[in-house]
Structure 1
Amino acid sequence: MTSALVLLLVTVGLCALFHGVFVLARRIDNYGIVDIAWSYAFGVLAIAYAFALSGAWQRRALLTAMVVIWSLRLGTHLYRRVMSHHPVEDGRYQRLRMDWADGFEGRMARFFQMQALSVVVLGVPFFVASLNPAPDLHVFEWVGAALWLLAISGESLADHQLSAFKRDPSNRGRVCDRGLWRWSRHPNYFFEWLVWVAFFVFALASPWGGIAVISPAVILYLLLRVTGIPLTEEQSVRSKGEAYRRYQRTTSMFLPLPPRPDAG
């Protein structure tokens, strides 16, 4: 099977999968489940490449393990979060319901298909590395694996700290500014982006690996400008008001940095 055919088949398969997720989301009236599907889809994609492409097995095995572990951790975390609030939908999708009120279902169906295509595009590092026939792992791959370990550990810690904060009834209505959240308003997003940087570094050891820069670049754009930080911050300001505005003045938005004095 040629690499082009593999790419075509996984694209068609993911589009079909996300259409099924859209049908389920419409039935349960909660479109936030697309985030769960998006996270798990990368593990499926990596496994498909590992079996269908012809690169050295050591590389395919290591990369697949990295992607599947990250995918399962993130997808399961999101599943617990989304289902714990169901049938109340994530605020970002409530906002889309208002913004897309005219022709909402059709626009949301296209949005789900865009999520499927984004998995293929963001999966470029997996595709490139899984084609690499070199038998020995390159220094870039070891560095990428080490960076991945740091990133997934940081993301897991940030998610754990936020969940623990929210479980305490005395923190209701307050802003989480403890642990990693004292250094960044979105440490989970920062370490999520760092995961993609790690995949890019891993891919640099392979021919055409430089094109994998598209993954961390797109993720960074989405987090900073589209569905990540902007919508999350809008929701936080609406729900927490001046407390969150004060947090914005004292705490770095993305990169973990020492807290600043409140100049407000």
Structure 2
Amino acid sequence: MSTVDTGALVTVLAASAGTALAVMLLTFAVALVKGVHRIVDSAWGVAFAAVAVVAWFLSAGHGDPVRRTVVALATVVWGLRLAVHIARRGRGHGEDPRYARMLARAPGSPALYALRVVYLLQGGLVWLVSLPVQAAVLLPQPPDAAAALGLALWAVGLFFEAVGDHQLARFKADPANRGRIMDRGLWSWTRHPNYFGDFLVWWGLYLTACATWQTALATLVSPLVMSALLIKGSGKRLLEAHMAGRPGYAAYLARTSGFFPRPPRPGGRPG
């Protein structure tokens, strides 16, 4: 069974790391000028898209043309959609309260602290999470059943993310909903349709790198890290801590799944 060219892989890994770092350092410079660090949330998606483009370019002559193009394109579509959505959501707002609280407690220079614990950390995570993309574009095998399943998961995940974000944006845009809990559409099946969608996207992209046991094993860390971030890290856990105490949220917890979608139930313990 054909495997990834080692020399090409080293090149792609190094270039991807440099690309992720460059995007985050550029974003840091812009943030200092603008005086807000919330733009790093948009840079997250941009960095993934940039890594995919660089990996696609450098994999020419090594990876199967169809696999490498489809995987890179899927990553770019996901990353840019997320970046545009977050940028629109934050337009006209000041600093994100999360970053304001963090920087208020920063030891020493707040800017250098933000550089270390936000920008460089996110750059490293982009490189780590995107390992399946970096490997998949170098696989010489044409797309197989695992890749097809992965792209199907990616499509379902993108649907949950995009539709969930759209539904929430429309809900918040209606003044009549101010102070109310969003519990309609996909949000009645899971409290986090966007995070669940993200979860599916990265497990799907991981499957596109599973043409060999070596790449499957070497890139498994990617969806595991992303899943941990979404469920136990900066995603679901922090958002629910922020929402706790709002009127009606306890009832929403009781009837709506915490992550994996299922029909809402009339009552019971939180999912």
Same fold (TM over 0.5): yes
The change in CA–CA distance for 1:179 and 1:145 in structure 2 (over 3 A counts) is same
- The correspondence of residues 1-264 of structure 1 with structure 2, limited to 5 A, is 2-53=8-59, 54-84=62-92, 86-87=93-94, 89-100=95-106, 103-110=109-116, 111-134=118-141, 136-206=142-212, 207-237=214-244, 241-263=246-268
What per-residue deviation string (whole Å, max 9, x for no partner) do you get for residues 153-204 of structure 1?
1211111111111111100110000011011111110111110010111111
Amino acid at match of 1:31: H
Q: How many residue pairs are counted as aligned between the two chains?
A: 259
Q: Displacement of 1:101 after TM fit? A: 5.8
Q: In the alignment, is the contact (CA less than 8 A) between 1:128 and 1:209 conserved in 2? A: no
Q: Displacement of 1:252 after TM fit? A: 1.5
Q: For the residues of structure 2 that align with 1:137 and 1:5, how far apart are their CA atoms?
A: 23
Q: Structure 1 unaligned runs (5+)?
A: none
Q: In the alignment, is the contact (CA less than 8 A) between 1:92 and 1:231 conserved in 2? A: no
Q: In the alignment, is the contact (CA less than 8 A) between 1:237 and 1:244 conserved in 2? A: yes
Structure 1 range deviating more: 188-197 or 16-25: 16-25
What per-residue deviation string (whole Å, max 9, x for no partner) do you get for residues 72-115 of structure 1?
1111111111224x22x223223323443654322210120111
Amino acid at match of 1:250: R
How well do the aligned residues superpose, as a CA RMSD in angstroms?
1.9
Q: Displacement of 1:58 after TM fit? A: 1.3
Q: For the residues of structure 1 that align with 2:97 and 2:241, how far apart are their CA atoms?
A: 10
Amino acid at match of 2:75: V
The change in CA–CA distance for 1:262 and 1:242 in structure 2 (over 3 A counts) is farther
Q: In the alignment, is the contact (CA less than 8 A) between 1:39 and 1:75 conserved in 2? A: yes
Look up the SS of the partner of 2:220 in the other structure. Answer: helix
Structure 1 range deviating more: 117-126 or 92-101: 92-101
Q: Displacement of 1:48 after TM fit? A: 0.7
Q: Displacement of 1:262 after TM fit? A: 3.6
Q: Displacement of 1:21 after TM fit? A: 0.8
Q: For the residues of structure 1 that align with 2:13 and 2:44, how far apart are their CA atoms?
A: 18
Look up the SS of the partner of 1:132 in the other structure. Answer: coil
**Greater share of residues in helix:** 1
* Identity level (%): 35
Look up the SS of the partner of 1:208 in the other structure. Answer: helix
Look up the SS of the partner of 2:217 in the other structure. Answer: helix
Look up the SS of the partner of 1:242 in the other structure. Answer: coil
Q: In the alignment, is the contact (CA less than 8 A) between 1:129 and 1:209 conserved in 2? A: no
The change in CA–CA distance for 1:38 and 1:170 in structure 2 (over 3 A counts) is same
Moved over 4 A (4+): none
Q: Structure 2 unaligned runs (5+)?
A: 1-6
Look up the SS of the partner of 1:133 in the other structure. Answer: coil
The change in CA–CA distance for 1:147 and 1:124 in structure 2 (over 3 A counts) is same
Q: In the alignment, is the contact (CA less than 8 A) between 2:68 and 2:136 conserved in 1? A: yes
